[in-house]
Amino acid sequence: MNLERKSRDWLKQFVEEARGLGKYDVGETIEGLARKLGKKTSEIVKLNSNENYFVPIDLLKETLNQVVEEIDPRIYPRDENVELQGTLSKYLGVSPAQITMGEGSDQLIDLVSHAFLRHGDLALSIMPSFSMYERCVRTQGARFVTIPLREDFSLDMDKVINSASSGSKLLFLCSPNNPTANQFKSEEIQQLLDEFGGVLTVDEAYAEFSGHSIIPLAEKNENLIVLRTFSKAFGLAGLRLGYAVSNANMGTILSERYQMPYSTALITLKVAMKLIDRIDLIKRAIEEVKVERNKLIENLNGIDGVHAFDSQTNFVLMQVDRSSDEVYRGLLDRGIVVRNLGNVLHLKNCLRVTVAPPHMAERFLAELRRVLRG
């Protein structure tokens, strides 16, 4: 009886602690919103998750069909994982041993947290940033502390370094950062690598849309892990594929000792390899994102009551001069889904919108003007 009571007490504590963890809100889905509004799914414009609509859908479907014909889904992937590491190593200019494959960068954030954190350890990040860092840290029973960015979204290097010197094991930086859309300087990253005693994990989910990458720093810095994803630049959000780049010793440890075997799906690995073979089309899509991003920022800043910030990503952070809740709901009622952020540092009433092809962006802008006119 005592054992049963202890078991129930333990489970009760687990449930209470689990409820205290952050829940990632995926927002409205296309199908769900279409049902609510009585519209067709084709009438919904989804701009809340930074997906890449510029990679041609015909290319992706053609590639998927080719892969389906080539694979035997009854067999575990193994050679394909190694082959993709080799393909990526040529694309990035690193050795295959530096690359650890994963099921999206989310899974790799969890992997890094699991590898380096023990109960009671300290991990750091900036604020605001991607919420998944805190969730993965806290599920390890570790502590999580954030350092606010400066008002211009830059790193407060003194505060970061002082906080990092307090025995912390991990420091997560998203660069370019979500949701502020700015990229941090390579010199600042190198300074942190030199002065931080723990492992610096830099999330470069949006790096292909920016001015530079710090992957070249990975080989000579054993305390650097760079996370990348195929969800953004390659348009494969639905297939879940990411990778980490570190020095060769760390990469081997993460891949062979901490990553689960067969962690990525066979079909996903094969599709990724074929898309890298068509990298010219991916790069063309990236350049289209940059062009449309500049247009979107300019158009938003031409609307009374809207201020859009510069971006090194495939999304734009904007501030409106009224309740962001009201603007979000007004857009939602018109079939437009954006991300309602509310407060971002000292800024109130902020929203985030994905950079989209002209026909989607024009619809968003037209509906936004209508909402703001009230």
Query: What pTM was computed for the model?
Result: 0.95
Token pair for 113: 């947290």
Sign of CA dihedral 279, 352, 201, 267: negative
Domains and CATH numbers, the chain: 24-50+281-373 (3.90.1150.10), 57-277 (3.40.640.10)
Task: Residue 187: count other Cβ atoms within 10 Å of its Cβ.
Answer: 8
Q: Write out pLDDT tens, residues 109-145.
A: 999 999 999 999 999 999 999 999 999 999 999 999 9
336-337 and 306-308: which strand pairing? unpaired
The answer to whether the CB of 242 falls within 8 A of the CB of 105 is: yes
Q: What's the chain's average pLDDT? A: 95
Q: What is the pLDDT of residue 6?
A: 61
**Weakest mean pLDDT among 19-23, 99-103, 203-207:** 19-23
Q: Write out pLDDT tens, residues 143-173.
A: 999 999 999 999 999 999 998 877 799 999 9
Q: Write out pLDDT tens, residues 29-52.
A: 899 999 999 999 999 999 999 999
